[in-house]
Amino acid sequence: MKYRHLLSFFALAASLSVQAQNTTQELVLNTLKPGAEIQKTMYGIFFEDINFAADGGLYAEMIKNRSFEFPQALQGWKTAGNVKIMDDGPFERNPHYARLSDPGHAHKRTVLENEGFFGMGIEKDHEYRFSVWARVPDGKPSKLRVEFVDVLREEHGRMNFDRVKLDIDSKEWKKYTATFKSSETHAKAYVRIFLDDKETVDVEHVSLFPTDTFNGHENGMRKDLAQALADLKPGVFRFPGGCIVEGSDLDTRYQWKNSVGPVENRPLNQNRWQYTFTHRFYPDYYQSYGLGFYEYFLLSEEIGSEPLPILSVGLACQYQNDDMSAHVPVDQLDSYVQDALDLIEFANGDVTTTWGKLRADMGHPAPFNLKYLGIGNEQWGPEYPERLEVFVKALRKAHPEIKLVGSSGPDPDGEKFDYLWPEMNRLGADLVDEHFYRPVDFFKKAATRYDNYPRKGAKVFAGEYACHEDGKAWNHYYAALMEAAFMTGLERNADIVHMATYAPLFAHVEGWQWRPDMIWFDNLKTVRTCSYYVQQLYSVYKGTNVMPLTMGNQPVTGAEGQEGLFATACLDKATNQYYVKIVNVSKKDLTVPVTLKVKKPKAAVADRDVHCIRFSCGDPDAENTVEHPNRITPTESHFSMTGNTLQAHIPAESFSVFVIPVQ
Ligand code: AHR
């Protein structure tokens, strides 16, 4: 104890010398007035299949175009010998398959080679499950041989895997499976399937997964990426997007009913982001729907989030379709509304209902407890509320328990936004989705954005946001610091802000078309960006109630005289701790006295151990990369707090969370 006092003495002395220069006014946390409840859904994740986030990303399938359904049936595949594409396969909605026949010459071979998504990442000592639906159409037994090659090695060296042979013996379609183990790590493996006998073999739905997926599901998620989501402790999980909900046209909108049931029979959908790669030639961006609504609900449950599906309102992407004939007429929305009603049945319905039964058949008899549903993504103009109204009427009647999320359009202000907010209130939306991809200045100012919002009416869902800074690296530290400053305003206004999700979530380093993004990855590695850590600190230290925190009797919003500080505080009733978040956007190191206003100031009987989690970096332009994924990560330290005041040393351009036990 003596030693501790000595340390405190030195800490105090050190802080006094800093104080001489840069001590700010005190921050006062009024412990007598716990404020609004912070919703469980406050900080969450926004998932969209953009930047190869699903196929080639979170969805652990490693074979591209596994069902030969891309419009160019052999895209992603190379062939040699005698390979034909047929279209009368066993899966009605994916009718194509490949027929491998004898090439007719002793030295020739018939082989299919799949390139994966930018290659396949294979790890040493990990196991992989290869499977294929196959048959011998002539009824004569035959063989397949499966091998892996490493395309980074000169001459495409064969990898140190077992070469597996599969005996194909049935005239009927059957699933054949083999498991491999690698003794090496490879960033760019390809898989080859040889016809290893004379007789013809038909192959369909060729699949390769690591056996070690997140929570071990066979049709599962890449473990490192899903774990990164779980580590965010997200309160809400929005899916499947984004513009992808709307599609480039109505035909390519996300149709959840196509994304459930056996994976082999989920039809392919063109990805809405297919044609948006300005810098690359990628006409190969499709959605296999292997990661479908069942998998989204399950993942949401497993990472402890409330699921928030968003469905089409009958408007195709308005950026790409300004002609009204591209959209569903208001009086023809029945099937769209039915999709919404059926989705609620799929998520929550009894197992005796049609859609509840399908959920049970897929492995989840218990309901998913869906509470929120969004209709429409980034829509605008009168055409949106006109359509939304039809949904609201039907959904309120059948499911008054479901909270409905409407949209305020693509911008956080301006004509579209000003028109839609009152319209959402007129229709009685429970939450309104706001989007802002904006520069540094916007984010600094937006820390006070919600301070003067009306307290009545729909709640706010800050559904897509990220700080974009032209001419800078993507996901650099300073942009994340601005997001941290902005988020103090979310927390302070938790009475009306009920959800917030950074966007987009994922990007493959070789397959992105939008940046910045929260998590980058290649086929082997994950990069948690600076923005990721900011999100994580807010989410992990979310608390249960906002607490009043002031500097000079004002909220701490970087205002004049506040030394570039943005701060907020909350109480966590579950752990009996205060979380004080302080963002310093100035270039000065500061000493900030944080005083707890208590009933009886002398009640502080013992020193408190204050845990500090700090995110800081000397270089505002620095970022985490695949080469240096852990360059900037939060650090932890402890302070001793004597009495009710903490002398918080706050470095220049830093974000700190102080965890203070309630006494
Ligand atoms: O997050 C990327 C895109 O930004 C979303 O799909 C869309 O809603 C917004 O325009």
With a 6 A CB cut-off, is 429 part of the ligand 1 pocket?
no
**What HEC string does 150-215 produce?**
ECCCHHHCECCCCCEEEEECCCCCEEEEEEEECCCCEEEEEEEEEECCCCCEEEEEEEEEECCCHH
User: What would the pLDDT profile of 510-530 be if each residue is shown by its tens digit?
Assistant: 999 899 999 999 999 999 999
Interval 528-549 mean pLDDT = 98
Interval 361-389 mean pLDDT = 98
Q: What are 375's two structure tokens?
A: 């209709």
What pLDDT sits at residue 15? Answer: 44
Question: Ligand 1 centre from 72 Cα, in Å?
Answer: 28
What pLDDT sits at residue 107? Answer: 73
Give CA–CA dist 493/549, Å, rounded.
12
With a 6 A CB cut-off, is 433 part of the ligand 1 pocket?
no
What pLDDT sits at residue 283? Answer: 78
What pLDDT sits at residue 372? Answer: 99
With a 6 A CB cut-off, is 378 part of the ligand 1 pocket?
yes
Kindly tell me if the per-residue pLDDT of 96 is higher than 80: yes
Give CA–CA dist 648/652, Å, rounded.
13
Kindly tell me if the per-residue pLDDT of 156 is higher than 60: no
Interval 243-263 mean pLDDT = 97
Question: Ligand 1 centre from 213 Cα, in Å?
Answer: 28
157: pLDDT confidence band, cut at 50, 70 and 90?
low
> Which of ligand 1's atoms lies nearest the C-alpha of 241?
6
149, 112 contact by CB (below 8 A): no
- Is 218 among the residues known to form the active site? no
Amino acid identity at 397 = K
Q: What are 489's two structure tokens?
A: 């305003």
23, 651 contact by CB (below 8 A): no
What pLDDT sits at residue 375? Answer: 98
In order of 147, 230, 443, 444, 479, the CA distances from 468 in angstroms are 44, 25, 10, 12, 7
> Which of ligand 1's atoms lies nearest the C-alpha of 46?
1
Whole-number mean pLDDT of the chain? 94
User: If you write DSSP's letter for every residue of 376-391 in order, what string do you get?
Assistant: -SS--STHHHHHHHHH
Kindly tell me if the per-residue pLDDT of 395 is higher than 70: yes
What pLDDT sits at residue 158? Answer: 66
Kindly tell me if the per-residue pLDDT of 17 is higher than 90: no
In order of 133, 143, 366, the CA distances from 146 in angstroms are 14, 10, 39
Single out the residue of 476, 436, 504, 479 nearest to residue 52, CA to CA: 504
Q: What percent of the chain has pLDDT over 90?
A: 87
Pocket test of ligand 1: the residue of 243, 252, 273, 408 to mutate, having most ligand atoms within 8 Å of its CB, is 243
Q: Which of 355-359, 473-477, 526-530, 652-656 has the lowest mean pLDDT?
A: 473-477
With a 6 A CB cut-off, is 241 part of the ligand 1 pocket?
yes
> Which of ligand 1's atoms lies nearest the C-alpha of 378?
8
Give CA–CA dist 372/431, Å, rounded.
9
Q: How far apart are the first and last CA of the chain?
A: 19
Kindly tell me if the per-residue pLDDT of 112 is higher than 50: yes
> Which of ligand 1's atoms lies nearest the C-alpha of 244?
6
Pocket test of ligand 1: the residue of 45, 317, 514 to mutate, having most ligand atoms within 8 Å of its CB, is 514
Give CA–CA dist 552/537, Å, rounded.
26
Single out the residue of 411, 464, 422, 14 nearest to residue 245, CA to CA: 464
Pocket test of ligand 1: the residue of 52, 384, 417, 435 to mutate, having most ligand atoms within 8 Å of its CB, is 435
200, 137 contact by CB (below 8 A): yes
Question: Ligand 1 centre from 419 Cα, in Å?
Answer: 20
Phi-psi region of 84 (alpha: psi -120 to 50; beta: other; left: phi over 0): beta
User: What would the pLDDT profile of 439-453 be if each residue is shown by its tens digit?
Assistant: 999 999 999 999 999
Q: What percent of the chain has pLDDT over 70?
A: 94
With a 6 A CB cut-off, is 48 part of the ligand 1 pocket?
yes
Question: Ligand 1 centre from 244 Cα, in Å?
Answer: 8
Q: Which of 139-153, 372-386, 398-412 has the lowest mean pLDDT?
A: 139-153
Interval 423-446 mean pLDDT = 97
Take atom 1 of ligand 1 and give the residue whose Cα is closest: 504
User: What would the pLDDT profile of 271-322 be if each residue is shown by its tens digit?
Assistant: 999 888 777 666 799 999 999 999 999 999 999 999 999 999 999 999 999 8
> Which of ligand 1's atoms lies nearest the C-alpha of 503?
1
Question: Ligand 1 centre from 319 Cα, in Å?
Answer: 11
Q: What are 374's two structure tokens?
A: 């969004």
94 exposed, middle or buried (CB, 10 Å; 0-12, 13-18, 19+)? Answer: buried
Question: Ligand 1 centre from 478 Cα, in Å?
Answer: 22
What pLDDT sits at residue 605? Answer: 67
Interval 357-375 mean pLDDT = 98
Pairing of strands 236-239, 654-661: unpaired
Take atom 7 of ligand 1 and give the residue whose Cα is closest: 242
Active-site hit among 61, 378, 464, 491: 378
What pLDDT sits at residue 360? Answer: 98
With a 6 A CB cut-off, is 242 part of the ligand 1 pocket?
yes
99, 137 contact by CB (below 8 A): yes
Query: Which range has highest mean pLDDT (67-81, 466-480, 593-607)?
Result: 67-81
Interval 16-35 mean pLDDT = 79
Stretch (H or E) spanning 415 = helix 415-427
User: For residue 14, how many other CB atoms are within 10 A of its CB?
Assistant: 13
In order of 133, 137, 204, 655, the CA distances from 89 in angstroms are 10, 11, 8, 57
Question: Ligand 1 centre from 569 Cα, in Å?
Answer: 31
Angle, in degrees to the nearest 10, between helices 334-348 and 354-361: 50
Take atom 4 of ligand 1 and give the residue whose Cα is closest: 242
Length of the chain: 663
Kindly tell me if the per-residue pLDDT of 154 is higher than 60: no
What pLDDT sits at residue 663? Answer: 86
Question: Ligand 1 centre from 48 Cα, in Å?
Answer: 8
Helix-then-strand count for the chain, H and E: 10, 35
Take atom 2 of ligand 1 and give the residue whose Cα is closest: 504
Q: Which of 177-186, 293-302, 456-465, 644-653 has the lowest mean pLDDT?
A: 177-186
With a 6 A CB cut-off, is 320 part of the ligand 1 pocket?
no
Give CA–CA dist 585/616, Å, rounded.
11
Q: Which of 131-135, 156-160, 426-430 has the lowest mean pLDDT?
A: 156-160
Give CA–CA dist 498/455, Å, rounded.
12
Interval 228-236 mean pLDDT = 98
Matching residue, tokens 């190969």: 284
Position with higher pLDDT, 1 vs 179: 179
